[in-house]
Every structure is written in C-alpha cells, then in structure tokens.
A and B are shown apart, each in its own frame.
Chain A
Amino acid sequence: MLNVTIDGQLLQVKEGTTILEACELVGAEIPTLCHLKHLAPEGSCRMCVVEVKGARDLKVSCATVCDEGMEVVTMNEKIHAWRRFIIEMLLADHHIDCFSCSDTGQCKLYQYALDYGIKEPRFQVEPRDWEKDETNRFFDYDPHKCILCRRCVRTCNDRQVNHTLNLTGRGIDTKVGMPFDELFIDSNCVSCGNCVSVCPTGALATKSSKDYRSWEVTKTRTTCSYCAVGCQMDLVVKKGKVVGVEPADGHSNKGLLCVKGKFAYKFIGHPDRLTTPLVRKDGVLQPVSWDEALDVVADNLQRIKAESGPDAIAGFSSSRTTNEDNYAFMKMMRGAIGTNSVDNCARV
C-alpha cells in the first residue's frame, strides 16, 4: 500500500492506483472527458490535470499512478485556468446547439462550461464541411458536436472489438469516421450502440433521444431479457413509457450492451404485445387467467405422458430466459416429466 495525500487528506491506496482513482476514493471531483472506466487511459482531453507537489508541470490524473508520499492538489488557480482553457478550446470548435440538442442536461461539455464560468465562447473556429450521418436505424452522428474524446473509437475497437469507428483526417480536420468516409449504413457497424452510450456530448445520439430531456425521465435498473448473459441496464422512462435504454456497469456486461438490449425495447409498449395468456377455445384464441392457462398446459402434459410415455414430450426454452429459469425448466423436464429431450435456443 502507498500513502498519498489528496487535498490534505491522507489515504492508503494499492500500488498501480491512478491519481484519479485515489481522488474518487476521497470524493474529490475531477472533471474528465476522455477517461472511461474499462478503457485504457490515454490522457488526450487534458481535463483531469492536478498538481503533484514537486512536479514541474500539472499531471494528467487519469494516467498518472500514485507514488509513495505523493501530495496532490486537485484545485488551484493554475488548474482552474488550465481546465478552463481546454473547455474554451473545445467550445471554439463545437456546434453550440444546446436548445435543441438531445444531450442537453447530461452533456459533460455543457456542465463543465458552467462549472468553469464560461458564459460564451471567446473563440470560434470555422466549421468544416462535414455532413451529419443519419443512416443508422437507431442513432445519428453529428461531427460538429464531437469533441474527439475518442471514447466511441476506443470502445468500438478495444471493447466491442468491431473495428468500425476510427479517426480520419488530422489536426483540425480530425473526425471520427469510417474507412473511406463510409456511412454507418454501409459499414460493418452492428449497431450495438456502445459508441452512443459513451459519447459525452450530443455527437452520437439515439434517434429516440430527441423526444425527451434528461430531467423528464426516470431510470430503472433491470436485467436485459434477451439472453442469459444477464446484462445490467437502465430503462429510461418518460411518463410511464420506456423511451430508451442505457447500459449499466454490471458484472457480466461492464457497461456494454448489444443491439437488442440497447435498441430493441419498443416491444414493451407495442400494441401487438400479448399482455395475457390466450387459450384456443372453439377454434379461437381467447384471453384467460394465468391459472387457467397453466392448468391447460399441465393437464395436456399429464395426458400425453399417460398416453404415450414421457419421451413423447420435449422441452424447448427461449434464450430470453435467465440461466436460473433454464435450470429449473431442465429439472422439470427431467424430474417431473421424465424426458431427456430438453434444449434451449441460446447457441447463436
């Protein structure tokens, strides 16, 4: 363990702990843009600087590991001026569209501009001739709102490992894009939406996010019902209706989701969705209670088993069930019914 001091507060941290992690332990707030848990630190946004006693320059806290006896100051005039400069630079090259931007209310750039007292940008860079890419079914990309924190690129390459996004151009013409300036629709993008989830501004935004603002919604933590991985996610709910899904940092998904978990939530409120069991009576499906429906199933299973033996029955469960449910189902098929013919479709 190492002894470090953060803003006068002494604490012990494990070797390899970054200054940023140590600051989190004592609740010292450090603004970050490019930093993201589960991604290797790259220190490119230059926001998270702190002062380390004895060091010549300010240090990037996300990528600097603690040393024994290190004394860290997380805010002073120099740090404030530095961070303010970074925000000013980002704002100088940002399409300021906060009134209609879907990220308003949760945009990190907006928040930090407020925190560091920037009321209006002093500088403005000529916008480049870039077009929005709205070809993906689920999300849009507006390069003029991108601050090049590269979280999306790193997530796509290092975590999703789909290698769709990268950087094109250089200098002020640097842009998140795809090889040969492809559009999303023509690329190998699988629409997992993890790039959208990690975007700190409105550059990558779901199409549905246009319809709500962060203060209008509540979030409910749940487990994704599409397969047995058990991804944790938050359902974003506005006025009783699910309007979006955000990944949560669960044990099995660590902040990622797939296209189904992220975008295929509309079935929840879909008019075609069955909301009650149906039993065919006189050739017509009719709504019944769960008790009645389960009785029909149990009676028929018992009848078939009595007439033709247990091997006349096979069980097949959906991949949308949990491991525990599948286990129980298997037990029921083998133990209660007595057949080994049981399977699950989760092998794609």
Chain B
Amino acid sequence: MIRTLEDLRQFQRQQEEHMRKQAADTKAKVLVGMGTCGIAAGAQEVYDAICDELKKLNIDDVVVAQTGCIGFCAQEPLAEVILPGNEKVLYGHIDAEKAREIVNQHIVGGKAVSRWAVNGGGMLPEGEQDEATIVPYDEVPFFKTQVRIALRNCGIINPESLGEYVVRDGYLSLAKVLTEMTPADVVEEIKKSGLRGRGGGGFSTGMKWEFAHKQPPGQKYIVCNADEGDPGAFMDRSILEGDPHSVVEGMAIGAYAIGANKGYVYCRAEYPIAVRRLNMAIAQAKEMGLLGKNIFGSGFDFDLEVRLGAGAFVCGEETALLASIEGQRGEPRLRPPYPAVSGLWGKPTIINNVETFANVAPIIHRGADWFGSIGSENSKGTKVFALAGEINNIGLAEIPMGTTLREVIYEIGGGVPDGKHFKGAQTGGPSGGCIPAEFLDTPIDYDNLAKLGTIMGSGGLIIMAEDTCMVDLARFFLDFTQEESCGKCPPCRVGTTVMLDMLNRIVEGKGQDGDLEKLEELGQNIKAASLCGLGQTAPNPVLSTMRYFREEYEEHVHDKKCRSGVCTALFQYYIVPEKCKRCGICAKVCPVQCISGDRQTPYVIDQDRCIKCGACMEACPFDSIIKR
C-alpha cells in the first residue's frame, strides 16, 4: 500500500532497482507493440514466434514484453530489440518468420537486421541512406519532430504494469497535488498552462474545472470521454491501451481540483483491449491505495468506474454521454445548464477527453510554464494526430501546436504514396472540414483551423490525394453523420437526410440545376438550427469542400463528370483503339464478360453491361484502357 509520498518514492526505487537488475541479468529485451492495431496486424504471432524461438534455442535470459501502440501504424507489427549498450532497433512489418530470424541474427548473433529496421539507415531521406546502419529514433523522420507528452509512455512501458508507469514518474503529480497544493492551486496551474480540451471543442480545461470547483461543495463527478468515434481517429484508444494509468492519474487530479469523489470513464465497447487495460489499471491503483479512501493520507477519496458505450457516435457529445451513463437514451440536451453546473444526475460534472487527461500529470509535474512554452500563442502544448488516408506513414503523431500541415504530411507522414499530389486534408473527422493544398503551410492550431472553416476536432487527419473525389468524400462523411444523428431535432434528423439524398443523386449523375444552392442553404440552416454540436457541425464536410472545390461539384451536377474517376455513374472505362494491342487480357479478367474483340479487331467494352469494377484497366499491360 502506498500511503505517503515517501511510500511512492520507495516503490519507484524498488521498481527501478528491479528493472536495473533485470537488465543486468538479461542479454536483451524485446518489446512487441500490442495495441489493437498491432494485434490486428499479427503482433501476437510475432510475440509467440519470438518466445518459441528463444525456447528452442534454450535462451532464458531475454525478456519478451508487450507494450502499447508505438504509433507507427504503417509499419505494424512492430517490435523493438534492446541490447544493453546498443542503439534500440525498431523492426517493422515483421512476421513470425522474420521474428525468428531477428532472434537468431540480432539477439544471438548480435547483429541488427538493419534492412527491416524502421530506424535503419535505409529509412532516411534520399541522399542520407545507408542500409547497413542503425540510427537513433530521433533521426527517423517519423519521430524526429514529434514531442510526446500525452503519448509519453505509449510504446515504451508495459501498459499492464503499474511499476513501469511509476518508474516514469507516474502518480508523482497526484502525490504532489494532494500533499502540496490546494484544489484552487491545481485549477490555477491548469489554467495557467493554457491546456485546451483535446476532444474537439478546444475549451480551456482550467476554466472548465474552475466552474465546477466554484460550485458549492457536495456530490460532484468527473467523467472521461473515451467514446472516440471519428472515422480514422484512434488517439484515445492508443493512450488507453498504451498508458491507462496516465488517464487514471489525470482524472484523480481533476477530481481533487473540482471536489469530486467519483469518476466514470465512458469508453466505447468496441475498444475491448482499452477497456481491459483500463480496468486493470484501476484495480492496480485501488490495490496500491492510489484510488479509494484517503489517498496519500490527504483525506481525499476518489473512486473510478468504467462505463461502456454501445457505439453511438452522438454519445461522444457530453450531454448525450451523461444521459447514457444515467441509463437513458443517448441524446444531447440543451445547454445551459452546462454539466459543470448540472451534469450527471443533476450534479456538477466535468467531462474531458482521454488526451486532455493524459496531459494533466505532466503539467503538474513539470509546471504550467514548461507546458506553456510549447505550442503557439493561443494553443499550448501538443496535439496527437491520427494520420490516415493517402499518406505513407499512417500512424499517430504528437506534434507541438503550430507545426505546419506540410511538416506533418511530408516529414512525419512521409508524403503521399505513389508520387501522387496532395489534394486536401480532412481535420476534425465528420464534424470538421477540409484544408486544400494552398494552405499546407498554415501552422496547425485551434484558431488557424477555425479560420480555414474546419476544426481541430479530436485529431483525425485524413489525407486526400489528387484522385480523391471531393463530392464523394463529402457524401461519405455526411452518410456517417446522417446515420449517427440521434433524431432529436428536425434540422439534423431530416436536414442531413435531405442533403445526403441530394448528394447521392449528384454522384449518380442525377444532379439538377439549383442543387448546389439548396445544399448550401440546407447546410447553413442545419448548422444554425441544430440542437447539439453534432448537428451544428454535420454539414461542415459538404460546406468546406464546396468552399474549396466548388468546380468539382459543378462538374458533377452540370457536366455529369467526376474528374477523379471515383463516382462510377459519371465515367466509363474505354479502350483506346489505337493503343489496344488486342491481347485479350481485359476480356479474360472481365467478371461480366462485357468486353469483346479478337486478334483482328480492337477490343470494345459493352457499356450497358459494364459494372465498372476496373479489373480490365488494372489488367491491361499496355495502359490502353482509360476512364473518361
């Protein structure tokens, strides 16, 4: 049991000693990235293969451990090999076979297999490449400009070990606030840090806490919004899976600041590993006395429970989330009163998202000034982005606020694959908007994104290349929000459906004059008149793509053309007779046998029967088939 700060320090020393001893007694340590992402990519097989190979070779002085998401999704499954005194080597794209070879060559033979290493010299930018070497992580472009605060432990510690968290100064911040600071001091420190909500709204966390802090004493609650629902966003899952104690600690600090003794983590049930590790972390913290009664002998009690969401996007909206915890239908309600005044069961309640809570302990530990020194003027600290879509390095990147989109996409993200041109980036998920190429050099922060007509959101960053159809993209996002509307207010319930029907018609080539004007009108009205944030932002993907790519909409409606060749109703596959070499491969691969021709006559596609699967174009060895 940890009852005092000294107990915690002693526990920390014990754990450090244990780890030092382990390192001294062992030849190597292997860490396998086992977040949901890694496991889905085959990390379990890799883990098993490493253990099995070590057993076969009768090696028992190698520690094989799991860690959370390392962040470099494009390279999953990932494993890190640490030989004392040597540079860490991070292997990417490994499978069981490669894993066995790594055991033999690297662990037994002492020579890193640099061609598979993410931090191998081959990964460096052109001109600096040197296949044979291993470079430190901070020279690898993906990691180079990242500043990891929220992700400080992800991919480094075993998320299921309280000891490893404490060794990295875990729970010292909680000890500090409980033994040295008043709740008002904590609120002040968070306010001073400039931390803003990382869930989408970007409201000052310190100010929010202050509202609840100032409510008269009595039952109050603190809630963590772990209902991450934006398509393509997985920051919160990675934190919960990779460093659950950071959220527990952040919540406990928040609870102390506002005077709550009970907290809930509302986590979506689709995150089973996150839920399991979070429950494990809570159980460990309770067992050690870091949660429960009289924490650090301060008289402060705090208990934490996980509540599962059933997968409704709208439950990420704070009032809908509270309704769901209460067992009601997950629907937003009018604000005011804000939850800080009347929240869960009518009591003052603070709701912050996972990433926000993960930032709290470092702020307390290193000070508001340190945090405030990172980032831009009105957006302090860092933001974790989930890079997805048409980008080479799909993964999680934590960057200081104010980093330009260009740096994120081209340096960390490694640019757009296959030499394609960057067309736009969608930020803020389905509630956000797109940023076209002309604004690549905009520093990313709350205010700049708002100026561009989008939002920071929770950090999804979906990259679109030149062959993305912006009309279809907007249709995709609207399809999502329409499906996820709770149905409470008519603007969102009916309005998004009317807009979606219209977009569906447009991509099917049935757009009519006046459709675009109606879309804009509907979009503006839905934004203005909807009850909650979900409805108020639902038309954003349509409005922002119309703002920057209006000509594509015009083409779809008036010319019945999709320049990107995505909307199947708006183009045909066509065999250019002059280029056709009459090999007949296209006819062979066509699943509906709609291509005819022979040695003498060029092949022709029967457009009435063509299902536009594109198999012929892919198969043609002479690039004789085009979309037009």
Contacts and interface: CB of A to CB of B under 8 A. Distances in A.
B495 A89 contact: yes
A48 to B, nearest CB: 12
Contacts of A126: 501
A173 interface: yes
A60 interface: yes
- Contact residues of B: prevailing secondary structure: helix
B489 A44 contact: yes
A170 B485 contact: yes
Interface stretch (B133-141, B185-193, B525-533): B525-533
Interface in A165-191: 166-167, 169-174
Given A42-B334, A44-B488, A86-B529, A171 B501 contact: no
Given A123-B498, A166-B329, A171-B484, A90 B490 contact: yes
Interface in A65-101: 81-82, 85-86, 89-90, 92-93
Contacts of B488: 44, 148, 174
A173 B530 CA distance: 17
Nearest to A45: B490
Contact of A171 (B486, B518, B525): B486
A107 B501 CA distance: 28
B236 to A, nearest CB: 23
A107 to B, nearest CB: 16
Contacts of B312: 170
A86 B490 contact: yes
Given A63-B334, A85-B525, A169 B487 contact: yes
Contacts of B491: 46, 85-86, 89
A152 to B, nearest CB: 15
Given A60-B334, A89-B494, A126-B501, A171 B489 contact: no
A255 interface: no
B9 interface: no
A172 B497 contact: yes
A297 interface: no
Contact of A125 (B314, B329, B501): B501
A192 interface: no
Given A86-B491, A166-B329, A44 B531 contact: yes
A342 to B, nearest CB: 48
Contacts of A169: 487
Contacts of A63: 334
A46 B530 CA distance: 8
B492 to A, nearest CB: 8
Nearest to B314: A170
A147 interface: yes
Nearest to B482: A171
Interface string B295-321: 000000000000000001010000000
B495 A57 contact: no
B490 A172 contact: no
B493 A148 contact: yes
A171 B490 contact: no
A174 B493 contact: yes
Nearest to B333: A42
B52 interface: no
A299 to B, nearest CB: 65
A171 B518 CA distance: 21
A143 interface: no
A43 interface: yes
B377 interface: no
B490 A170 contact: no
Nearest to B494: A89
Given A172-B497, A173-B487, A167 B329 contact: yes
A43 B531 contact: yes
Contacts of B494: 89-90, 92-93, 123, 125, 172
Contacts of A41: 334
A46 B490 CA distance: 8
Contacts of B482: 171-172
B493 A43 contact: no
A82 B531 contact: no
Contacts of A148: 487-488, 490, 493
Contacts of B530: 46
Contact of A46 (B314, B333, B489): B489
A72 to B, nearest CB: 17
B347 to A, nearest CB: 18
A103 B344 CA distance: 40
Interface string B307-343: 0000010100000000000000100011000000000
A173 B487 CA distance: 8
Contacts of A90: 490, 494
Interface in B525-554: 525, 528-531
A169 B528 CA distance: 25
Nearest to A149: B490
B270 interface: no
B618 interface: no
Interface string A29-60: 00000000000011111100100000001101
B483 interface: yes
Contacts of B334: 41-43, 60, 63
Interface in A135-152: 147-148
Contacts of A46: 489-491, 529-531
A125 B497 CA distance: 7
B487 A172 contact: yes
Nearest to B499: A123
B54 to A, nearest CB: 51
A123 B528 CA distance: 19
Interface string B429-450: 0000000000000000000000
B535 to A, nearest CB: 10
Interface in B508-529: 518, 525, 528-529
A33 B329 CA distance: 21
A86 B488 CA distance: 13
A16 B498 CA distance: 38
A259 B55 CA distance: 78
A147 B496 CA distance: 16
B493 A172 contact: yes
B493 A92 contact: no
Contact of B498 (A92, A147, A167): A92
A220 B421 CA distance: 76
B557 to A, nearest CB: 17
A59 to B, nearest CB: 10
A169 B482 CA distance: 13
B477 to A, nearest CB: 15
Contacts of B493: 89, 93, 148, 171-172, 174
Interface string B451-493: 0000000000000000000000000000000111111111101
B259 to A, nearest CB: 26
Contacts of B329: 166-167
A170 B493 CA distance: 9
Nearest to A87: B490
A172 B334 CA distance: 20
Contacts of B498: 89, 92, 123, 125
A161 to B, nearest CB: 16
A170 B496 CA distance: 13
Contacts of B528: 57-58, 82
Interface in A118-144: 122-123, 125-126
Contacts of A92: 494, 498
Given A44-B488, A171-B483, 5 more contacts: A81-B525, A93-B497, A148-B487, A148-B493, A171-B497
Interface of B: 312, 314, 329, 333-334, 482-491, 493-498, 501, 518, 525, 528-531
10 A-B pairs closest in CB distance: A174-B487, A171-B485, A89-B494, A89-B490, A85-B525, A43-B334, A172-B497, A123-B498, A93-B494, A44-B488
23 contacts: A44-B489, A45-B490, A46-B490, A46-B531, A49-B529, A60-B334, A82-B528, A86-B490, A86-B529, A89-B494, A90-B494, A123-B498, A148-B487, A167-B487, A170-B314, A170-B486, A171-B482, A171-B484, A171-B485, A171-B493, A171-B496, A174-B487, A174-B488
